[in-house]
Amino acid sequence: MKRWKIAEVLGKEGQQLVNTSVTVKGWVRAFRSNRFIQLNDGSCMATLQAVVDFEKFDELVLKRITTASALSITGTLVESIGTGQSVELQVETIEILGDANPDDVQKTVMQPKRHSLEFLREQAHLRFRTNTFGAVFRIRHNVAFAIHTFFNDRGFFYLHTPIITGSDAEGAGEMFRVTNLDAKNPPLNEDGSVNFKEDFFGKPVNLTVSGQLEAELAALALGQVYTFGPTFRAENSNTSRHLAEFWMIEPEVAFNDLKDNMDLTEDFLKYICSYILQNCAEDLKFLNDREAQEQTQKPQNERNELSLIERLEFVTNNSFKRLTYTEAIDVLINSNHYKKKKFKYDVSWGIDLQSEHERYLVEKEFKCPVILTDYPAQIKAFYMRLNDDNKTVAAMDVLFPGIGEIVGGSQREERYEILHRKCEEFGIHPEELSWYMDTRKFGTVPHAGFGLGFERMVMFVTGMSNIRDVIPFPRTPQNAEF
C-alpha cells in the first residue's frame, strides 16, 4: 500500500483522503490513555493523531507502542472532532517496525520534554527527532534550495571547486593538512624537514578555505558562476559563530564592480529571507514562538526588539545601510559608547573591526543590515582591488544583526602588475599561483564576488544563537564526535 507522508495527509491533499484507507509510517512522539498515538514522520512539524480502539488490539502490541518506537499504521482517515487537527486516523492495523526501550528513551533527548541545547548537542545523532531540530534542518534544506533557485533563475552556473587544494586563498595560514604519509615515520629531507615529494600529491596540500580563486577562473570564461561547498578553517576559535568545517556560497561575476557586487548580495540575502517566509511558515512559527518564550526569561534590556519573523520581514523590506570603513571608524569614534569607554578594543583607522564594533554599528547605530566597503588594504586579502587612494581596497563586508559578518567579498584586482606586487607584499610566491595570475594575461576584465557563510545565514533565519545548532554534525576544536 502507498505510504502517505504526514505533511500530505494534514495538508490540502488530505481533504481528498477523508473516509479512505491510508497508510502512514513514522515514530511515536506520545501515546496517551492507551488510545491516542501522536505520529511524526519528519515531513513536517505536526504529528498525526491515530486513534486506537484498544479492545481490538492485543495488549502485548499496545505495550510496544512507546515514545520513539517506529510504526506503520493503516486506518481510515476521518474528520477530527477534537481541536487542533482537521483529520485523524482510525486505526485498523498496526505494524511495529522498530521498538524503543522506555528506560533507554528516558536518558535521551527523545524523551518528550524541553531539553537544553547543550544537552541536545551531546546527542547530535538523536536531536533530529526533536521539534526544534526538525524545524532547523527542514529550514536549512530550504535555504540551500532557495540559493540554487536564486542563481539558476539568474543564469549562473553551479561550479564544483576542489576540496583538496595546494593554495591558500585567504592567506590565513590556518589550514588542515591532507596527507597519507606515515605520521610516526615520515620520509625526511637531508635538513630533517618532511619530504612532501613522497606524499600522495608530491607536494603539501590542504583542505580548502575557499573556492574563490578557482571560481574566478571559471567566471572569466562562463561569465557568472557560484560555488556551494564545504570549507575548512583550522582556527582555534571556540565561539558561537565559528566552525572548523562550514559551507560557503561564493558567486563570482565577470564585468561586475563593487557596486554591482553589493546589489547582488543585497538581492540575494533578501531573496533567501522572503523564500523562507513564504515556504517554511509552520517551522518558522515554531522557532519564532520558541524564541519569544526564551526571551521572557531574559532581562528587558537584553531582549530582541523584533521577533524572528519580524526580523526576516525587516531584511526583506528595507535597504541595507552602505558606508565606507573610514566613515564607520568616524561613527564609532564619535559614539557615546566610545566616549564612555564601553568598547573593549580601541578604535582607530587601520584596525581590523572587532565583533563588538560591528555589532554596535548594526544593532545600536543603524538598526539594519550594514554593508561596509573600502577597507585598509593591509587587513584584507591580496586579491582585492586596490583603490585609487593606494590605501584602501574595493572590499565589502555585510554585517547582520545578532550575527555580525555574514558575507565577505570584493571587486578583484584584475591588473597583473598590481596583483603581482600585492602577492609579494603578502609573502605569496606568484609562481605558485601562476594558474591564477595567468587569467590576468589573457583578456583580463573587472570582476567581483563574495562569500556567504551558509551556517551564519541559517542562524539568522532560524534565530538559533549558536552555530553548532544549525549544522547536522558540527566540527569545532576538540569536537568531531558524531
Site for ligand 4AD in 127-186 (CB under 6 A): 169-170
In the complex with ligand 4AD, the residue whose CB is nearer, 77 or 248, is 248
- What string marks each residue from 176 to 215 as x (binds ligand 4AD by CB under 6 A) or -? ----------------------------------x-x---
Size of the site for ligand 4AD (CB under 6 A): 22
Q: Does 242 bind ligand 4AD (CB under 6 A)?
A: yes
Contacted by 170, from ligand 4AD, Mg ion, none: CB < 5 to 8 Å by type: ligand 4AD
Site for Mg ion in 346-375 (CB under 5 A): none
Shortest approach of ligand 4AD to residue 230 CB, angstroms?
A: 11
Site for ligand 4AD in 408-437 (CB under 6 A): 408-410
In the complex with ligand 4AD, the residue whose CB is nearer, 186 or 230, is 230
Which own/partner contact pairs does 211-214 have at CB distance under 8 Å and 24+ positions apart? 211/159, 211/161, 211/162, 211/169, 211/248, 211/250, 212/169, 212/250, 212/252, 212/383, 212/449, 212/451, 213/167, 213/169, 213/383, 213/433, 213/436, 214/159, 214/161, 214/162
Place of cell 524545524: 135
Residue 310 C-alpha cell reads as 519580524
Contacted by 246, from ligand 4AD, Mg ion, none: CB < 5 to 8 Å by type: ligand 4AD
Shortest approach of ligand 4AD to residue 381 CB, angstroms?
A: 7
For the chain, state the CA radius of gyration: 27
Contacted by 451, from Mg ion, ligand 4AD, none: CB < 5 to 8 Å by type: ligand 4AD
Q: Which single residue brings its beta carbon nearest to Mg ion? A: 408
Site for ligand 4AD in 380-409 (CB under 6 A): 405-409
Give the Cα-Cα-Cα angle 159, 163, 167 (nearest 5 degrees). 100
Contacted by 404, from ligand 4AD, Mg ion, none: CB < 5 to 8 Å by type: none
Closest CA to 248 of 277, 224, 275, 227: 227
Contact pick of 408, 409, 453, 463 for Mg ion (by CB under 5 A): 408
Contact pick of 451, 460, 462, 463 for ligand 4AD (by CB under 6 A): 451
Strands (E) located in 263-403: 321-324, 370-376, 392-400
Q: What count of other Cβ atoms lies within 10 Å of the Cβ of residue 352?
A: 11
In the complex with ligand 4AD, the residue whose CB is nearer, 143 or 406, is 406
**Bridge-partner residues for 164, per DSSP?**
207
Give, in order, the Cα–Cα distances in Å from 311 to each of 267, 276, 316, 317, 460.
16, 12, 9, 10, 9
Q: Does 409 bind Mg ion (CB under 5 A)?
A: no
Q: What count of other Cβ atoms lies within 10 Å of the Cβ of residue 281?
A: 12
Contacted by 256, from ligand 4AD, Mg ion, none: CB < 5 to 8 Å by type: none
Q: Does 449 bind ligand 4AD (CB under 6 A)?
A: yes
In the complex with Mg ion, the residue whose CB is nearer, 210 or 387, is 210
Give the pairing of strands 224-232 and 157-158. parallel
d(CA 304, CA 113): 25
| Part in contact with ligand 4AD (CB under 6 A); list of ranges 4-12, 47-55, 245-253, 385-393 | 245-253
CB 385 within 8 A of CB 412: yes
**Bridge-partner residues for 232, per DSSP?**
245
Helix (H) or strand (E) holding 420: helix 416-425
Residues that bind ligand 4AD (CB under 6 A): 169-170, 210, 212, 233, 242-243, 246, 248, 250, 405-410, 449-451, 453, 455-456
Residues that bind Mg ion (CB under 5 A): 408
